[in-house]
């Protein structure tokens, strides 16, 4: 097992993303904080750590969100051992901001049980909500916006997440949702109980309140989050608890936002850089079944659309090869390509969804390889769909991602790190199904001001 040199300054925080799109969102928050971070696509080797140099934050992008419990335990055991060995005080298990998970797939309960073995603090803060992308937790109940629409829905009535093909959310109370996954005796702290922190004289009251929480909690602690002002309070609580004994924190990228806000109170976030227009053809592959992604496919104007039949990708190698050659030929002509899978006529099982994600990811890698043989390398790649993104980065043979910019709230563009010169340096957008406005794919090609 690879562990960092003990002579190197420990990172401030480590995080594991249960899918790749979410892990890159946390990478963006690390960059906003002005911290040096790198997202590895697996437990890094000693050589990769050396090439990365000193890091304030170390991330590992995984695929636990789509795994069965036994597979999660195997993956997270290695991750927990490595991250504990870095000397970081906080290990952040980055789950989806909608907390969609189930006892049989992507279980947050399994993640907590395994990672607590490596971070000995009995307190496990669980942060619900991420206001920056329209996610809110009030009195332990989760609410979310759908795409860029302004309406906020309770998660069990959300037009998309309540009907997720693999992990539909039928319970809004996160205490009950997580209890079904084995996380019992959750203490909930409502946002109405938070002390004010608007003046310097409020600080002693906050510290006293934090001491009371730490002294009276020895298990999972669910923290409401409905407003960005509450991030400092949450972050201060986590840092104080971790100063005594290293801890595991669970939640979306708001955990990182809270840690950064409390680490440097009053400091403005570092501006993220804009994205210049693409210098070469852009490849986007959409494996998401989300209505948000469907609208993005319909709205884009800068791509040659190439629909593919997901089931035929699985069943017919000749059909898959034809799709690869068609997409590669379009890229060689200097045109942008949008490859998107069709919407199945019937509900899909978790196994079918996973198989489709793998086949779509293999399609991405094959298209890049075929175009490279013709002397053309896409300047940017966009992947839509959490599971597809996770599988595609593995299929492409990447070992790391460095931050490039934020294209939209919750959508990060990264720079691929790979030993393959055809892949190394490519700008890569990984997007969850719910993220981004209707013109997101065009923005990837056109750039942003």
- Angle, nearest 10°, between helix axes 254-263 and 20-32? 20
Q: Between these two residues, 155 and 147, which has the higher pLDDT value? A: 155
- What are the tens digits of pLDDT across the range 300-330? 999 999 998 888 888 889 998 999 999 999 9
Angstrom distance (rounded) from CA 401 to CA 37: 9
**pLDDT over 90, % of the chain:** 61
DSSP reduced 3-state for 397 = coil
CATH 3.40.980.20 placement within the chain: 282-446
Which helix (DSSP H) or strand (DSSP E) does residue 315 occupy?
A: helix 310-315
Q: Does the domain spanning 13-263 belong to CATH 3.40.50.10840?
A: yes
Contacts 24+ apart (CB under 8 A), 109-113: 109/178, 109/181, 109/182, 109/183, 110/69, 110/72, 110/73, 110/76, 110/181, 110/182, 111/18, 111/64, 111/72, 111/76, 111/250, 112/183, 112/220, 112/248, 112/250, 113/182
Contact present, 231 and 225 (Cβ < 8 Å):
yes
> With 70 as the cut, is the pLDDT of residue 116 above it?
yes
Tell me the mean pLDDT in the region 14-41: 91
Confidence of residue 411 (pLDDT cuts 50, 70, 90): confident
CB 206 within 8 A of CB 44: no
Q: Which two tokens stand for residue 431?
A: 């997007």
Q: Which fold has domain 282-446?
A: Molybdenum Cofactor Biosythetic Enzyme; Chain A (3.40.980)
Three-state DSSP at 202 gives helix
* CATH 3.40.50.10840 boundaries in the chain: 13-263
The pLDDT tens digits for 323-370 are: 999 999 999 999 999 998 876 555 555 676 677 777 777 888 889 889
pLDDT score, position 422: 78
Query: Comparing 63 with 203, which gets the higher pLDDT?
Result: 63
CA dihedral (401, 18, 343, 320) in degrees, to 10, reads: 50
Q: What is the pLDDT of residue 6?
A: 47
| CA pair distance 122, 99, nearest whole angstrom | 22
Taking 80 as the threshold, does the pLDDT of residue 92 lie above it?
Answer: yes
Q: Name the token pair of 258.
A: 């809270």
DSSP state of 270: P
pLDDT value at residue 289: 67
What DSSP state is assigned to residue 133?
A: G
The pLDDT tens digits for 61-84 are 988 998 999 999 999 999 999 999
What is the predicted pLDDT for the residue at 252? 96
Q: What are the Cα distances from residue 402, in Å, to 38, 59, 258, 335?
A: 5, 10, 21, 26
Residues 6+ apart with CB under 8 A from 8: 54
CB 435 within 8 A of CB 408: yes
pTM of the model: 0.81
């Amino acid at each position: 097992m690879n562990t960092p040199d003990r002579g190197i300054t420990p990172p401030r925080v480590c995080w594991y993303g249960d899918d790749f799109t979410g892990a890159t969102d946390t990478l963006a928050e690390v960059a906003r904080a002005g911290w040096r971070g790198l997202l590895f696509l697996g437990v890094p080797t000693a050589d990769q750590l050396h090439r990365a140099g000193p890091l304030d934050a170390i991330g590992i992008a995984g695929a636990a969100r789509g795994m069965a419990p036994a597979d999660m335990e195997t993956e997270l055991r290695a991750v927990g051992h490595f991250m504990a060995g870095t000397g970081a005080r906080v290990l952040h298990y980055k789950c989806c901001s909608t907390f969609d998970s189930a006892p049989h797939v992507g279980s947050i309960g399994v993640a907590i049980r395994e990672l607590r073995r490596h971070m000995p603090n009995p307190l496990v803060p669980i942060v619900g909500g991420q206001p920056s992308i329209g996610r809110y937790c009030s009195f332990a109940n989760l609410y979310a916006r759908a795409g860029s629409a302004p309406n906020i829905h309770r998660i069990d009535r959300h037009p998309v997440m309540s009907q997720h093909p693999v992990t539909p959310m039928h319970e809004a109370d996160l205490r009950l949702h997580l209890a079904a996954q084995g996380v019992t005796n959750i203490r909930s702290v409502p946002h109405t109980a938070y002390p004010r922190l608007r003046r310097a004289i409020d600080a002693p009251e906050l510290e006293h309140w934090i001491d009371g929480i730490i002294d009276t909690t020895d298990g999972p602690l669910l923290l409401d989050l409905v407003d960005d002002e509450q991030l400092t309070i949450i972050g201060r609580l986590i840092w104080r608890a971790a100063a005594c004994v290293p801890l595991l924190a669970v939640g979306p990228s708001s955990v990182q936002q809270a840690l950064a806000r409390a680490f440097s109170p009053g400091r403005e976030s570092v501006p993220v850089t804009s994205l210049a227009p693409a210098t070469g053809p852009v490849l986007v592959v959409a494996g998401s079944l989300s209505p948000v992604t469907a609208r993005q496919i319909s709205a884009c104007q800068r791509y040659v659309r190439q629909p593919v039949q997901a089931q035929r990708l699985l069943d017919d190698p000749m059909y898959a090869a034809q799709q690869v050659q068609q997409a590669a030929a379009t890229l060689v002509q200097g045109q942008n390509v949008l490859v998107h899978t069709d919407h199945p006529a019937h509900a899909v099982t978790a196994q079918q969804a996973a198989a489709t994600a793998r086949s779509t990811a293999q399609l991405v890698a094959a298209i890049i390889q075929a175009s490279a043989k013709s002397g053309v390398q896409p300047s940017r790649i966009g992947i839509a769909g959490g599971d597809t993104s996770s599988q595609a980065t593995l299929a492409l043979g990447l070992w790391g991602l460095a931050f490039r910019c934020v294209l939209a709230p919750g959508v990060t563009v990264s720079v691929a790190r790979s030993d393959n010169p055809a892949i190394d340096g490519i700008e890569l957008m990984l997007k969850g199904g719910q993220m981004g406005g209707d013109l997101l794919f065009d923005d990837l090609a056109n750039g942003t001001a």
